[in-house]
A = this chain, B = another copy of it.
Amino acid sequence: MGAVRMRVQTIMSLVIHVCHLNRKFTRLPHLAGSQQNLDLAKQIRDEWMEFGLDSVELVPYDVLLSYPNKTNPNYISIVDHLGTEIFNTSLAEPVPEGYEDVTDIVPPYSAFSAKGQPEDELVYVNYGRTEDFFKLERELGINCSGKIVIARYGKIFRGNKVKNAMLAGAKGIVLFSDPADYCADGVEPYPDGWNLPGGGAQRGNVLNLNGAGDPLTPGYPAKEYTYRSSLEDAVGLPKIPVHPIGYHDAVHLLHKVRMNIHTNNQVTRIYNVIGWIRGAVEPDRYVILGGHRDAWVFGGIDPVSGAAVVHENVRAAGKLMKKGWRPRRTLIFASWDAEEFGLLGSTEWAEDHARVLQERAVAYINADSAIEGMYTLRVDCTPSLHTLVYDITKKVSSPEEGEEGMTLYQSWHKRDNSTERDAPWISKLGSGSDFEAYFIRLGIASGRARYTKNRKTERYSSYPVYHSVYETYEIVERFYDPSFRRLEAVARVRGGLIFSLADSPVLPLDCVEYAMSLTKYANSIYQLALKHPAAMQQHSVSFDSLFFAVENFTVVARDFHQRLDQLDTSNALAVRMVNDQLMYLERAFTDPLGLPGRPFYRHIIFAPSSHNKYAGESFPGIYDALFDIENAVDWQKAWDEVKRQISIAAFTVNAAAETLKPVVS
């Protein structure tokens, strides 16, 4: 283990050039499906080969994308009683200085919006969350049916807002950026500060894919020969027009509006770049670092701050390879396409290679935006990676001024302690980035890390210029990370994870941490159910089986790690066997039957929230069965479903425990 630690540290101490990269990759827009994004793919392929990877390939898929009509722009208008348009929202954002000559900046739009020109009264639905619509309908008696609704961005994934609007019967939805959510206090709008200017607007897709990938080929890779469903049968497309606007336009919209939406869906070729380093000892074990390359416009933060981290880790690995190093396991580096259109590139590749990934993938580390704030580290990962994340951050220096000599762990710990233990806060994985198919569908241990804002004091949503034209190289260089030391710290964390996972003889996965998390989640879902004490009793709902299962898992996990301490590491087959148990643990939490109505969400412990794709929900089957149960039409049926989901969760935890037991009864 000593030698491995040294090797990992060697990698982590390599110079990382994120500053050069950010600039190079952000000069032009790199919209998925565009020539520029293909050119960038080729450039990355060529550079990765030069860095010294064993092989790099361009992997194409033909997926459904969505673009505005270039000759018939999208906008919202206020119409008078004669139907005359008396005010129109802007057709584009004011382009930032230095980018005036750039062509092919796609104007703000909601990708996959339905076409249409609905005209009606406008109903304000706050954030468009489930609870916002409940309040409107149940408390205020406001009916959205047949109306156009307007929701402010923030709090939840925009696709969920659109779904909620459709469920409420709305015939169109306008999304706007409210300064309350997209401007931080005391900060100027870009270019003088990093707040969103009034003319800026947030692009984004408004799909409800639930993990399906390409809407026309759910479950299968979108190859040339693949059967494609009709648009009517496509997964997750909104049936109503959707359009995003900035706050300068939003203040004008009152009463009756007309939406003018002409966006087109079209099957388009996209390209992933996949690079390989063959493992020296176990080439059939894969550790993956993947992040997307496509951007809505320049992608200064999203994704280039993350793509740069992948690039620098490839460069670092290449340098080591030239010195004779080769990891024990195979490393795969991925530059995904069309993440912005619904995680399409990463999901199609996962579908394409599901079998070998299920057999061979040890872990997936995600590399989307590396920075979304200036405060401290943010990590979302599977519980079995907690310990490794802590170990690695103890070997990285704090990037903050005035914290010289402190480790990243110490800085992070000081700034964001967990509410449950004396350690930095780590979250569950939700979705909204490319790890989804790997973690939620395939059950591969996954994690992500980035630099973030202070989640307790900074109340704006995401980061203000998110998905606007103002996401430039300069906003990172001037405001977010002038020294590029934060990006470097994130690069070292992501790199440390993949190199440790690829190089450690025994996989650095901690099953006891998984047991602790399961205990926490079981308690938490039980507390939620306890809000209905009468119904619990009437329907004989018991969580005993789940608590027994979690206790069983806990005992088995502890025993497993005790046996691991006695392992003869000179016995290659013995090491392989325990590593297989460690690798397949995450897989064991998946169920081929999937969650109710969401067949591609197969993880029984974690899923994206049904009400907000960005957030992770634990024991999602039970959670969804309990949701709003007091208003269920058939209580008997609803509580039966709760019982069924408890039974499935208990069985899954027991089944996962079995994989860690001695392999012979």
Contacts and interface: CB of A to CB of B under 8 A. Distances in A.
Contacts of A651: 220-221, 223, 226
B356 A281 contact: no
Nearest to A221: B651
Interface in A644-659: 644, 646-648, 650-651, 655-656, 658-659
Given A225-B545, A651-B221, A355 B658 contact: yes
Contacts of A221: 651
Nearest to A589: B355
Nearest to A643: B227
A577 interface: yes
A653 to B, nearest CB: 12
Contacts of A354: 655
Interface string A570-599: 001100110011001001100111100001
B572 A330 contact: no
Contact of A355 (B593, B648, B656): B656
A370 to B, nearest CB: 27
B276 A648 contact: no
B664 A219 contact: no
Nearest to A588: B355
B284 A665 contact: no
Contacts of A359: 580, 584, 587, 659
A659 B355 contact: yes
A648 B577 CA distance: 33
Contacts of A510: none
B647 A274 contact: no
A353 interface: yes
Contacts of A274: 665
Contacts of A656: 355
A219 B665 contact: no
A408 to B, nearest CB: 33
B658 A330 contact: no
Contacts of A584: 355, 359
A664 B581 CA distance: 22
A147 interface: no
A602 interface: yes
A227 B281 contact: no
A587, A593, A594, most chain B CB atoms within 10 A:
A593
B647 A225 contact: yes
A360 interface: yes
A54 B664 CA distance: 9
Contacts of A591: 219
Q: Report copies per complex.
A: 2
A665 B588 contact: no
A262 interface: no
Nearest to A663: B284
A464 B577 CA distance: 49
Contacts of A658: 353, 355-356
A1 B580 CA distance: 27
A650 to B, nearest CB: 6
A245 to B, nearest CB: 39
Interface string A256-300: 000000000000000000101011011110000000000000000
A355 B587 contact: yes
Interface in A333-385: 352-356, 359-360
A13 interface: no
A279, A658, A663, most chain B CB atoms within 10 A:
A663
B220 A648 contact: yes
Given A278-B664, A593-B599, A227 B572 contact: no
A55 interface: yes
A57 interface: yes
Interface string A587-629: 1100111100001001000000000000000000000000000
B355 A283 contact: no
Contacts of A219: 591, 593
Nearest to A546: B225
B664 A283 contact: yes
A508 to B, nearest CB: 20
A118 B81 CA distance: 69
Given A355-B587, A576-B576, A651-B221, A227 B644 contact: yes
A227, A279, A282, A354, most chain B CB atoms within 10 A:
A227
A580 B651 CA distance: 27
Contacts of A352: 655
A281 B663 CA distance: 12
A276 B664 contact: yes
A649 B651 CA distance: 32
A274 B219 CA distance: 36
A54 B353 CA distance: 39
Interface in A2-29: none
B659 A356 contact: yes
Interface string A550-574: 0000000000000000000000110
Nearest to A54: B664
A664 B332 CA distance: 9
26 contacts: A220-B648, A221-B651, A223-B651, A225-B650, A226-B647, A227-B643, A227-B646, A229-B644, A276-B664, A278-B664, A282-B577, A283-B577, A283-B664, A284-B577, A284-B581, A284-B663, A330-B663, A354-B655, A355-B656, A355-B658, A359-B659, A572-B573, A573-B576, A576-B576, A592-B594, A593-B599
Given A225-B545, A576-B576, 12 more contacts: A55-B664, A219-B591, A221-B651, A225-B647, A279-B664, A283-B577, A284-B581, A352-B655, A353-B658, A355-B584, A355-B588, A593-B599
List the 6 closest pairs (A to B, CB-CB), nearest first: A227-B647, A592-B592, A225-B545, A284-B663, A227-B644, A278-B664
